[in-house]
A and B are shown apart, each in its own frame.
Chain A
């Protein structure tokens, strides 16, 4: 069984088609990157997989559970770190994590244990009792990922996790994401080619709602005849044959 399976997924907003019939399968433990320019349909695809938007047609499933029919079960399997700041600003780092652990149905002992483990795992111990609104951009992103991970999801969605971060904060977050590889299925959307190149097992490129290319970096390089992900991406995004 695939961790994620999408078949002919279409999402239309009135006259605009955000996602236009994409199909893909992602294996358990894989780190899969979705690339594309703004408006390519990456976030809409992630939203459909997270049960945040209903597909116009086609289907999306997580571990065999349909994202339209089995929403409650899908939601127990996933964690999401959205594009924008998605923390409760007037709660501390610890309280934010406790909130998600409580919503996930953890009892007091497990909640406490999971929070401490997550603080350590993402190097948040130093700021555990700081209000989220006082954190730097890098810490907020790490908190956002920790909140997505604390519910022990089988699939983690990271929607542009390093957007707006300085190079040091970005590198630190990459190390955190790399440490998760293999233990959990990760779907990453990003604008940073270096990020996708360094972290991904496989990469898909979306253009105007369609999946234009998918494979490992070396496969994409072979298909386009270009070297490096940035050149590959430009070639595909500009309409190069794949």
Chain B
């Protein structure tokens, strides 16, 4: 446990000293929150488009932000693997589980902090525009976002383990584009229907956004919250396990 915590501490320090982590993990979600709020204010109310209303937008942007935690996980793991630093640590009593949890824990902490900041910004914006977010829903949503954070970290761990530091960010960017589109972050996937909705439902990102929005609205129905959250949790467990196994195999190789 001490070894895991020592490695966790190291990863947190490395991240906090990298300006990219602030730009991608904090800056971009906040910018998107502001821009999309301005877009929402420009859409006539009679259009009936509610996807950019602050109560729907904030949880979706929180999921979008987590995709950059995935990118950062991929970048951190692949960069470490690219240098000889991990080689040195492989020759210490550290196990593959120490490494895996040592990468997951700091990323999870960053993801939770990111969610708190995104919701704090969303709360301020909601106060300014006169459509106050539900504090209970916000707190419940931050907790409900943990499985999706773990899922994103798992995908990042796989990318960072299988690809080098040049390919891993590209692989994660593909997931960010795919996830933000098919996850229904920037459009109302549920009301789109047809092949588009079917495609969205085939990705776990759709369920991340759906469960986050339901949690923020305290809409705790089976279809809106519990089943999507279960799907996200199963995917998180699968991706984390795959990532851990891949890392362990690479370490032995």
Contacts and interface: CB of A to CB of B under 8 A. Distances in A.
Given A90-B17, A102-B3, A103-B7, A80 B91 contact: yes
Interface residues of A, number: 33
Interface of B: 2-3, 5-7, 9-10, 13-14, 17-18, 83-85, 87-94, 252
Nearest to A157: B91
A117 interface: no
B92 A83 contact: no
Contact of A99 (B6, B17, B91, B93): B6
Given A99-B10, A103-B6, A84 B83 contact: yes
Contacts of A91: 10, 13-14
Nearest to B6: A102
B interface SS class = helix
Contacts, number: 75
A68 to B, nearest CB: 12
A102 B2 contact: yes
Interface string A152-182: 0000000000000000000000000000000
7 contacts: A51-B91, A52-B91, A72-B93, A84-B83, A91-B13, A102-B6, A147-B88
A131 B16 CA distance: 13
B18 A87 contact: no
B88 A103 contact: no
B93 A87 contact: no
B88 A86 contact: yes
Contacts of B93: 72, 75-76, 103-105
Interface in A76-113: 76, 78-91, 95, 99-100, 102-105
